[in-house]
Structure 1
Amino acid sequence: MEVKKKYITQEELKKHNKPGDLWISIQGKVYNVTDWANQHPGGDIPLLNLSGQDATDAFIAFHPGTAWKHLDNLFTGYHLIDFEVSEVSKDYRRLASEFTKAGMFEKKEHTVIYSLCFVVFLFVSAISGVLCSDSFWVHMGCGGLLGFAWVQVTYLGHDSGHYNIMTSRGFNNLVQILTGNCLTGISIAWWKWTHNAHHIACNSLDYDPDLQHLPFFAVSTSLFKSITSCFYDRELTFDPVAKFFVSYQHYTFYPVMCVGRINLFLQTFLLLFSNRKVPNRAMNILGILVFWTWFPLLVSCLPNWTERVLFVLVSFIVTSIQHIQFCLNHFSANVYVGPPKGDNWFEKQTSGTIDISCSAWMDWFHGGLQFQLEHHLFPRLPRCHLRRISPLVRDLCKKHNLPYRSLTFYEANVSTIKTLRDAAMQARNLLWDAVNTHG
């Protein structure tokens, strides 16, 4: 006997959008993810942000085919009576299906092996130079090599966070701890926490943590209204201190990026020693302790404090290239205020991302992140495939009259500085108005 389907409307679904009552829709079927949120490998933030709405495209983007079978246990028995799929989503899902059938999500080629070998070479060279040479310039060069090793390790960590670069999930998690926590001092748990939120709420001023840099930076005058960060659960206060720093942000952008790594260390400690639930907290803390053992020991091997300080500074300056690239991909793209919407997934990704145009031989340098839109649309796709799918994504954007922005590294820098300068001029006007008013 055929069971009669039960239906609810999208308005009814929207009511289930708060902690303790989280429902989502995937392909018209409604699922209760309230209890699953605490077990979700990607954390609870994505489910909180997309609750009460259709999340089909986001689910397809982040999950392999094997994840579909787990949905049955969460099915409420309800279907959406007014479920519709946009033409953009149909085309997006068709592309994802074609990539799956071609086995592209599993074919990683030899990128991981090459990257691991390159990282080992960089670390060994940097450490050997410090231990085996008395030359000041060799030591400074080793600082640069160490910084570049951190950059390449970050790309590997980014890859492993989106898909298994190793033969199993267990080995993948072990590599994340070894390369991320032990070698760079930045917790993979912190990265997953913030990065998943960034992908889901790309360029939302109040939901995307990658745009929440007050008091130092504000990419939009909307941040002047002291909006509340739904990620950090606190107000992003645009006080006199923020007005001052933001007024000069187009001048301070590069200097701050040169020491931006300090903030990543700080954020790691704040998360690992917070009351928030952190997966594998003990392993993450152990990995951080490993880093803060070998790195100070290496620096202490340098002959004097001048070289030690300069060595650390050089290594940080080299990593700033990567920090800058992260900003170039999003700072001058479109922003919005409010939660992400699952029914315009493709549109939001095209709106909030900027690709970096470069020659194929430079792909290793950018770690795949130069194809930022392609990565955001298909985050599980190994970076070796991003260049070949780029024309398909470009054609799809053209078909639906959506932006596809690809700038050279120089053009992206100019665009980012212009965005920062425009906001700085507005902040400066507010700053001088306050001075003239209060004296």
Structure 2
Amino acid sequence: MALNRPAISARILAGEHLLIYNRHVLRVPPSWLAAHPGSDLAILHFVGRDATNEIDAFHRDIPQIMRFSIGKLAGDDPWQPLLPPIAAGWSRKDNQWYSAASTFHPDASQVLLVAKDSPAIATAPTLDSLTPPPSTLSLQVQNQHALAYKHLHKRVTDAGLYDTPYFSGYGPEFLRYFLLAVLSFYAYRTGWLFISAVSLGLLWHQLMFFAHDLGHMGVTHDWTYDRLISIIIADFIGGLSIGWWVNNHNIHHLVTNHPSHDPDIEHLPFFAISPKFFSNLYSSYYGRILPFDWASRFFISLQHRLFYIVMLFARFNLYRLSYVSLYKKAFDTKRTRGGRWAWRLEMLGVASFWAWYGGIVLRGCGSWQKALMYMVVSHITTSPLHVQIVLSHFPMSTVDLGPTESFPDRQLRTTSDVICPESVEFIHGGLHLQVAHHLFPRLPRHNLRKASLLIKDFCKEEGLTYAEFGFVKGNKDVVGVLREVAGMVKDLGQQVKLVADVATVEAREAVNKKIAQKEMNHNGNGVMVESH
């Protein structure tokens, strides 16, 4: 059956989740939406859009996806994308539309979300709601880039870059994990608590790269095996929820650097990399407003000075996010069987982590002062990982160019590499090559360098920019962006103060005028009496 844009729009407005894959129109049933391992948001962000590149990038082999096909696109022209309902502030709940936020257009092409005065269930989106603003991009050019990416993907696959280098890649890493664990244990037993804490922190730092690979199904390439191993690494050894991280990270990859949708740049009240966050934006990931309140004004005005200090303690925030997510999943009745066993194992893993780390390691330090030192040192040792993560995105564009933008264009515009010698790549876990990772998220990170060479050729052929810079320059760029936005907060404060001063003067003059009028009336002879 051939389906045109009006027919697809009507079915989306009726509540169906339709997206395009290789010119097939896929209808994702609610049952699969809830069961999707990459979270329902990963699908909702592509309702009404061509998701061919994204589906291929995030899935190894999905022949079963065609069972969702309800027809093919009519004609041969490139699909003119719709704005997904979630991007317009709409969501489905109990088979009804719910307006969670209103759209905000900082310019002609961008669509951000802000607070809605009175959310209503009885209303529904219209065709206008699904019609994106006029795009500054050429649909034909974006379609060409999407097709070229498919050819690039085939080149990467044919080069064998999806094959996991178990011996040459993970062999040295497993040896490194073992040595750090032994050093931490030996130092602890001999009373060298500081060295033990640093070694444990370095172990966590290195293991998180392994957990990252597993979360992307980049090791065994089987969801069950990779999730099981990742729970052992992240939850049992690191105390963090891999389930929360995967959901968070997938959305970051799909809507990179979008102020209303990417949780990896939504850090109020501590950080804002764009003045768009001054508008009390609505976050589709967190399902709430990101308030630009007095705390945000204070911290953001100093964010360029506090950046490294906050990064020292970033791991504690990961605990918070992990445990809030696990708590919410306890009441999620839509979890599939796989989701249930994974959640139970994660809960056991987190409990086991605090049993050995808190109940044995910290308690065995001898005093609360030493235990506090051990906790702080072991956690701040992981901070370079948090700094590294933001280097590839904070200095890059946060502009929303709409659903017309192709997958490769969006990733190249919002992501950059950190240049480093091959001999010290293990310090960065190979993830300094973020461009290749964002274009091919399932790719084993030991093969990212080879993939980056193919990508650079692709960029030259398609006239696209491949951004990369050194570690020092990257840090300067991040601090520079933070400083610039901090200056805007101060300017905004001065403007608010100026408006408030003007309003105060006007109010005082109005009050004085009223007092004078009353006294004039009270005097009875029309003569103004001076008021002291």
Question: Common fold, TM-score beyond 0.5?
Answer: yes
| Residue matched to 1:108 | 165
Identity of aligned residues (%): 29
1:270 aligns with 2:324: yes
Q: Deviations over 1:107-156 (max 9, x none)?
A: 324222332332232123212211x213xxx3112111111111111100
Q: Which one of the candidate residues 267, 271, 281 is aligned to 1:227?
A: 281
Are the aligned partners of 1:58 and 1:342 in contact in 2 as well (CA < 8 Å)?
Answer: no
Q: What's 1:31 paired with?
A: 26
Query: Which residue in the other structure is 2:261 paired with?
Result: 207
1:96 matched to which residue of 2?
A: 153
Matched residues in 2 for 1:133 and 1:91: separation? Answer: 59
Displacement, 1:368?
A: 1.8
**Pairing 1:314–2:377 present:** yes
Paired amino acid for 2:474 = A
SS in 2 for 1:217: coil
Aligned to 2:99: none
Pick one of 305, 319, 342 that aligns with 2:368. 305
Aligned to 1:242: 296
**Match among 180, 184, 190 for residue 126 of structure 1:** 184
Cα distance, 1:344–1:17 mapped onto 2, change above 3 Å = farther
Q: Is the 8 A contact 2:152 2:458 kept in 1?
A: no
- One-letter code aligned to 1:355: D
**After the TM superposition, which residues 33-432 of structure 1 pair with which residues of structure 2 at under 5 Å, given as runs?**
33-35=28-30, 36-64=32-60, 66-67=61-62, 69-84=63-78, 86-110=143-167, 111-130=169-188, 132-134=189-191, 138-166=192-220, 169-274=223-328, 275-276=331-332, 279=339, 280-296=342-358, 297-337=360-400, 341=403, 344-432=406-494
User: Post-superposition shift, 1:305?
Assistant: 2.2
Map of 2:505 onto structure 1: none
> Which runs of no fewer than 5 residues in structure 2 stay unpaired?
79-139, 502-532
Q: Which runs of 5+ in 1 are unaligned?
A: 1-5
Change (3 A) 1:360 1:14: farther
One-letter code aligned to 2:158 = K
Task: After superposing the two structures, state which structure 1 stretch, 100-109 or 384-393, moved more.
Answer: 100-109
CA distance in 2, matches of 1:186, 1:81: 49
CA distance in 2, matches of 1:255, 1:117: 32
Please tell me whether the aligned partners of residues 45 and 197 of structure 1 are also in contact (alpha carbons under 8 angstroms): yes
CA distance in 1, matches of 2:186, 2:14: 52
CA-CA distance at 1:421 after TM superposition? 0.4
| 1:163 counterpart letter in structure 2 | M
Query: In 2, Cα distance between the equivalents of 1:250 and 1:119?
Result: 34
Shift in Å, 1:19: 10
Q: Compared with structure 1, are the counterparts of its residues 57 and 166 closer, same or farther at alpha carbon in structure 2 (3 Å cutoff)?
A: closer
How much has 1:433 moved relative to structure 2? 3.5
Mapped partners of 1:11, 1:403: distance in 2: 36
2:38 counterpart letter in structure 1: G
> Alpha-carbon deviation of 1:88?
1.3
Does the 8 Å contact 1:355/1:372 carry over to 2?
yes
Deviation digits for residues 10-40 of structure 1 (CA, Å, limit 9, x no counterpart): 4543555579521111111101013321122
Q: Closer, same or farther in 2 for the Cα pair 1:294/1:366, shift >3 Å?
A: same
Equivalent residues of 2:218, 2:444 under 8 A apart: no
Q: C-alpha distance in 1, partners of 2:499/2:147?
A: 55
Q: Distance in 2 between matches of 1:287 and 1:336?
A: 39
Q: For the structure 1 residues 148 and 168, does the alpha-carbon distance in structure 2 shift closer, same or farther, using more than 3 Å as the test?
A: same
Cα offset, 1:299, TM superposition: 1.4
Which has the higher Rg, Structure 1 or Structure 2? Answer: 2
Map Cα deviations across residues 334-368 of structure 1 (whole Å, 9 max, x no partner): 01248x73751000000111100000011111112
Cα distance in 2 for residues equivalent to 1:212 and 1:257: 15
Q: Distance in 1 between matches of 2:174 and 2:487?
A: 45
Distance between the aligned counterparts of 2:145 and 2:396, measured in 1? Answer: 20
SS at match of 1:77: strand
Q: Which runs of structure 1 show a deviation greater than 6 angstroms over 4 or more consecutive aligned residues?
A: none
The answer (yes or no) to whether the contact 1:244–1:431 under 8 Å persists in 2 is no
Quick one: distance in 2 between partners of 1:177 and 1:281? 10
Aligned counterparts of 1:12 and 1:215: Cα–Cα separation in 2: 43
- Cα separation, 1, equivalents of 2:481 and 2:34: 38
Residue 273 of structure 1 aligns to a residue in which SS? Answer: helix
Separation in 2, partners of 1:26, 1:167: 22
| Higher mean C-alpha displacement, 272-281 vs 94-103 | 272-281
8 A Cα contact 1:151 1:322, kept in partner: yes
CA contact (8 A) 2:164 2:219 kept: no
Distance 1:213 1:19, change over 3 A: farther
Shift of 1:195: 0.4
Amino acid in structure 1 at the alignment position of 2:383: S
1:3 corresponds to which residue?
A: none
In 2, Cα distance between the equivalents of 1:421 and 1:385? 36
Distance 1:97 1:43 in 2: 27
Following superposition, the deviation at residue 399 of structure 1 comes to 2.8
Amino acid at match of 2:233: T
Question: Structure 1 residues 83 and 124, CA, compared in 2 at 3 Å: closer, same or farther?
Answer: farther
Letter of the 2:391 partner, please give it. L
> Residue 282 of structure 1 aligns to which amino acid in structure 2?
R
**Do 1:206 and 1:227's aligned partners in 2 also have CA atoms closer than 8 Å?**
yes
Contact 1:14 1:51 in 2 (8 A): no
2:10 and 2:390 mapped to 1: Cα distance?
35
In the alignment, the residues of structure 2 paired with residue 262 and residue 233 of structure 1 have an alpha-carbon distance, to the nearest angstrom, of 22
Specify whether residues 294 and 19 from structure 1 end up closer, same or farther in structure 2 by C-alpha distance, changes over 3 A only.
farther
